[in-house]
Structure 1
Amino acid sequence: MPPSRLPAHHRYRARLRRLQQRLSLRNRLVLSHVMVLLLALLAMAAISALIEVWLGFDDIEGDVVLQIGLLFGVAAAFPVSVALSRFLLRPLDRVRAATRRLAEGHYDDVLELPSEPGLAALVEDVNTLAAALADTQRRRARLISEVAHEMRTPITLLRGQIEGVADGIFVPDEAMFASLADDLHRLQRLAGDLSSLSRSEEAAFDLHLEPTDVATLARATADRLRPQYDDQVVTLAVDASTPVGAFCDPDRITQILVNLLGNALAASHQRGHVALSVHTEPPPGRHVIVRVTDDGIGIAPHDLERIFHRFERLEPPGRPPAAGGSGIGLTIARGIARAHGGDITAQSAGPGKGATFTLRLPQERAAGGGTPPLSR
C-alpha cells in the first residue's frame, strides 16, 4: 500500500522509526532533556498567566506567581521525563536482561538488533559474546568427554593386565612390562598436557631463561624427528646454519618445535615437503623468527585462529584425524611463546595448499650489550 494511503497513526509511527534511525542515543538524550525543559517552561508560563488573570495578582506578588508556576512546571515535566526515560532505556533494559541470562549460563539467546546504530553495535557485541561463551561451553563439555576417553583406554588395559598377572593368566615377561610402561606413558603424557594447558591459560609457566642458540635447537629437534619423517616418506629441509641467539628456556622452545614439526608431519601427504627455517628479524626488529612450512592439507581461513583453541583438532574430509593427539598442543605452544614475550601465528592459502606456522621470540640484550652469547 502506498504511504499516502496508510492510516494517519501508521504514517506517524513510520516517521518516528525513521527519525529514531537517524538519531544517535546521545542526540536522543539531548533532545529529551530539551523537550522536558521546554515543557516545564511552557507549563510554568501558562500557569503564571492564568493565576495573574484569574486571581488578579499585582506586580508585588510576582514572586509568588513565579513559585507557583515553577511548581506546576516541575509537576508537568516529571511524568514526561519518566516516560521518555523508559522509552530511551528500553533497549538497554533488554541488553541488561540478556547479560543476566548470560551470567546464568543461557548462551543461546539472540537479541534483535535495535534501529539505533550505537545500541545495535552494543547488542551485536553481546550476541558475539554469547556465541563465544556457548562455543567455550561446548568445548568444555567435549574436553571432559575426551579426557575421560583418553584415560579410560589405558586404565582399562592396565587393570586387565594387572588382574591377569594376579590371577596367573598372563606371564609377567618383558613384553608384558613393555605394554604396561606404554600405557603408563600415555597417562603420564595426558597428565603433563593438562598441566601445561593449565599453566598456559594462567600464564604461569616456570621459565628457565638462558642464552641459547635457537638454530642449534632447531637442528637438534629436526634430527630427533627425522626418522618419523623418513617412515612417512616426507622430506624435511632445515635452514638453520647461522647461529641465532636469544634468551629463552631451551626445553620449552624445543617443546614448541616438536609440536610444530609434528603437526606439519601429520598434515603432510606422502612424499610431501616440510621446511624449517631460523633467522633474525631484519633491523630494526629484535626478534628470532622460526618458520615451519608444509605443502599438506592446508587450513581454511576461518580456522587459522580456531586451531589455537584448546581441544580443537582439524579433521579434513576423507582423512582420519591424527592418532594420539589431545588437541591442546598448539594452545600450549602459543602459551609458551607468549610467556617469552613472543607469539605463534598461522598462515595458509586455503585447504589443500599447505600452511606456515611462525614463531617469534624477542631477542633480549645481555648485561654488557650486544647480541646474547650463544650456548653450544
Structure 2
Amino acid sequence: MKLQKKLLFSFVLIVLLSAILFSLLSYGSIDKNLLQYMGAVRENRLNQYEQLFRNYYLTRGSWDGVESLLQGMAAEGGRRWGRGIGMGRNGPPSFTSGTPEELLLLSPEGVVIADSTSSRIGEKISPDTYKGQIRPLYDEKGERIGFILLGLSPQSGYTRLENSFLKSVNEAVWISGGIALVIAILISLLISVGLTRPLKKLTQATQGFAKGDWSKRVKIKSNDEIGALALSFNRMADRLEQLEKVRKNLIADVAHELRTPLFILRGNLESMLMKGDPPNEERLALLHDETVRMAHMVNDLQNISLAEAGKLPLHKEKVNLISLVQKVVQIFSAQLEEKKISIHLDLGEELTFVSLDPKRIEQVLVNLIGNGIRYTPNDGVIEITGRREGERMIISVRDTGPGIAPDDLPYLFERFYRSDKGRSRTEGGTGLGLAIAKGYVEAHGGSIQAENHPEGGSIFTIRIPLESDNDL
C-alpha cells in the first residue's frame, strides 16, 4: 500500500473512531443529564398537576366533570390553565393534539377517571405496576382522593415526548459526526498529498540517479524534516555529481598519461622485434625511463587514494623541520642557480623538533618548492616561512610568479589538473604533485591552502597540528 493511502486510511480511521467515541460519550452524557433534567421537570409538572387537580377537587367536592377539563385543555391548547382554579399564567404544559405524553387521573381505588388521551377511562390500574411517575392526591384532612400518573415510554425512563427530543439530539450528533468525518477526509487527503508529493519528487530523483542522471535535484521550500531531507539529498547529489566528474576525468587522464609511455614502449619493442633493430644502451635507457615514469604515476595514484581513504601509512618521528627544508632547497640548487632565483628562509627555532613523517613531508615540500620554481621568472624570489601558532605549525611557500587565475584556484589540488593547459607533460609533470601534497598533509590531520599574495605571486600554506610526546 502506498504511503499516501496509508496516511489517508490512518487519518480516516482516527477521525472515525473519534467520531464514534464522541457520539457514544455525548449520548451517554446527554442521556444522563437529560434524565436528571427531565426528572426535575416532571417533578415540577407533577407538583403543578397536583395543585391543579387538588384545587379542582376541593372546589367541587368531587371529580365530576374532570374529564371535560382535560379534553378542554387539549382542545384549547392550554389556554384554560389557571382560570378559576388558582393557577397563574405559568401553568403546566397543555395537551395539544398529537402530544404523545400520557397523563392519568385515578380514583383512590385505582380506576381511571380522566385520561389525556381519552382511551383508558374506566380501566383499573395498579399504581405499583405502572411505568411512570406517580403522585398521590390528598384533601385538606389528609385523606387520599386519587392518584396522578405521568406515563413513560416502555423502552426508557422518559416520556415519549422526551424520547422524541433525545432521538433528535442523537441524530444531530451523528449528522455532525458524519460531516466532521467528511471534512476530516478532505483535510487528511490534502495533508497526505502535501506529505507524499515531496517524497515522490525525492523518489523520482533517486530513480534518475540509478539511471545515471546526476542532474536531478529536488525543489522543496518547506522548513520541516522533509525540507531538511531534500536539502541533504541535494547536497549529496552535488557531491556525487562532482565525484562522478572526478572519476570520469581520472579515467580519461590516467588513460591519457599512460598512452604516451605505452606508445613509446610499444613502438620501440615492435621495431626491435619486427625490423630486427638491435637494442642499444640509449634505447634501453629510454624504455627504462618510461617504465619508471609509469610506475611513479601508479604509485602516486595509489598513495593519493590511500590518503583520501584515511589509510595512508605514516611513520612519524621527531624531525628537525628546518634541516628538512634546507635539504629540499639543496635538491633544487641547480634549477635555482639556472634561473637565478633567490631563496629566503624564515623558520622559527621551535620547528627544530616536531613529530611527523619525514618522507611524506619532504615530498610535500619538494612538490611545493618545485612548483614555485617552475612559475617564478628569472631573478625572482621564493620565500619559505615557518612558525608555530598555538598547537599547530604553519609553513608557507610563496613565489613571485604571475599568480593563479581565479578560475583555477578551486581545482588546483585535483588529480591531473594543470592551470597551464598548453604545458607539455614532459615539462610539467603528470599533474599529481599538488594532489599528492594535499593527501599527505591531510593524512597528518592538517590542511593546505592556495591563494594569490596581495603583493603578487602565489602562496601555499600548510597547517599541521603538533603532537605531544604522549601521542607518539
2:57 is aligned to: none
Which residue of the other structure, out of 295, 315, 320, is the alignment partner of 1:208?
Answer: 315
1:181 is aligned to: 288
User: Is it true that 1:277 corresponds to 2:385 in the alignment?
Assistant: yes
TM-score by length of 2: 0.58
Q: 1:241 to 1:127 in 2, by over 3 A?
A: closer
3-state DSSP class of the match of 2:326?
helix
Give the whole-Å Cα distance in 2 for the aligned partners of 1:61 and 1:80: 27
- Answer yes or no: is the 8 Å Cα contact 2:348–2:387 preserved in 1: no
- Answer yes or no: is the 8 Å Cα contact 2:412–2:419 preserved in 1: yes
Tell me how far 1:278 sits from its aligned partner.
2.3
User: Is it true that 1:164 corresponds to 2:268 in the alignment?
Assistant: no
Q: What does the per-residue CA deviation read over 1:73-110, in whole Å, with 9 as the maximum and x for residues that have no partner?
A: 33541232112331354344324422432343212235
Structure of higher RCO (CA pairs closer than 8 Å, 6+ residues apart):
1
Kindly, what percent of the aligned residue pairs are identical? Answer: 31
Give the whole-Å Cα distance in 2 for the aligned partners of 1:114 and 1:142: 32
- Answer yes or no: is the 8 Å Cα contact 1:244–1:279 preserved in 2: no
- Equivalences for residues 23-172 of structure 1 within 5 A: 56-58=164-166, 69-70=176-177, 73-111=180-218, 113=219, 116=222, 126-127=233-234, 129-167=236-274, 169-172=276-279
- Answer yes or no: is the 8 Å Cα contact 2:400–2:458 preserved in 1: yes
Across the aligned residues of Structure 1 and Structure 2, the Cα RMSD in angstroms comes to: 4.2
Tell me how far 1:297 sits from its aligned partner.
2.8
User: Is it true that 1:194 corresponds to 2:319 in the alignment?
Assistant: no
- Answer yes or no: is the 8 Å Cα contact 1:203–1:335 preserved in 2: no
TM-score by length of 1: 0.71
Q: 1:57 to 1:295 in 2, by over 3 A?
A: farther
Which residue of the other structure, out of 424, 434, 438, is the alignment partner of 1:330?
Answer: 434
1:353 is aligned to: 456
Name the amino acid aligned to 1:360.
R
1:230 is aligned to: 337
Tell me how far 1:354 sits from its aligned partner.
1.6
- Answer yes or no: is the 8 Å Cα contact 2:348–2:388 preserved in 1: no
Tell me how far 1:218 sits from its aligned partner.
0.8
- Answer yes or no: is the 8 Å Cα contact 1:209–1:247 preserved in 2: yes
User: Is it true that 1:306 corresponds to 2:411 in the alignment?
Assistant: yes
Give the whole-Å Cα distance in 2 for the aligned partners of 1:198 and 1:212: 26
3-state DSSP class of the match of 1:280?
strand
1:362 is aligned to: 465
Q: What does the per-residue CA deviation read over 1:50-72, in whole Å, with 9 as the maximum and x for residues that have no partner?
A: xx99x93528986x975775465
Give the whole-Å Cα distance in 1 for the aligned partners of 2:289 and 2:424: 21
Name the amino acid aligned to 1:261.
I
Which residue of the other structure, out of 263, 266, 272, is the alignment partner of 2:374?
Answer: 266
Q: Unpaired segments of 5 or more residues in structure 1?
A: 1-32
1:21 is aligned to: none
Q: 1:313 to 1:135 in 2, by over 3 A?
A: farther
- Answer yes or no: is the 8 Å Cα contact 2:307–2:442 preserved in 1: no
1:288 is aligned to: 393
3-state DSSP class of the match of 1:85?
helix
- Answer yes or no: is the 8 Å Cα contact 2:450–2:461 preserved in 1: yes
Name the amino acid aligned to 2:417.
E
Q: What does the per-residue CA deviation read over 1:305-354, in whole Å, with 9 as the maximum and x for residues that have no partner?
A: 432233332237xx63663433332222222212212221222258x932
Give the whole-Å Cα distance in 2 for the aligned partners of 1:170 and 1:347: 52
Give the whole-Å Cα distance in 2 for the aligned partners of 1:98 and 1:296: 46
Q: Unpaired segments of 5 or more residues in structure 2?
A: 1-10, 32-160
Give the whole-Å Cα distance in 1 for the aligned partners of 2:315 and 2:233: 41
3-state DSSP class of the match of 1:56?
helix
3-state DSSP class of the match of 1:194?
helix
Give the whole-Å Cα distance in 2 for the aligned partners of 1:89 and 1:175: 72
Q: 1:325 to 1:70 in 2, by over 3 A?
A: farther
Q: 1:303 to 1:85 in 2, by over 3 A?
A: farther
3-state DSSP class of the match of 1:58?
helix
- Answer yes or no: is the 8 Å Cα contact 2:453–2:459 preserved in 1: no
- Answer yes or no: is the 8 Å Cα contact 1:99–1:126 preserved in 2: no
Q: Which is richer in helix?
A: 1
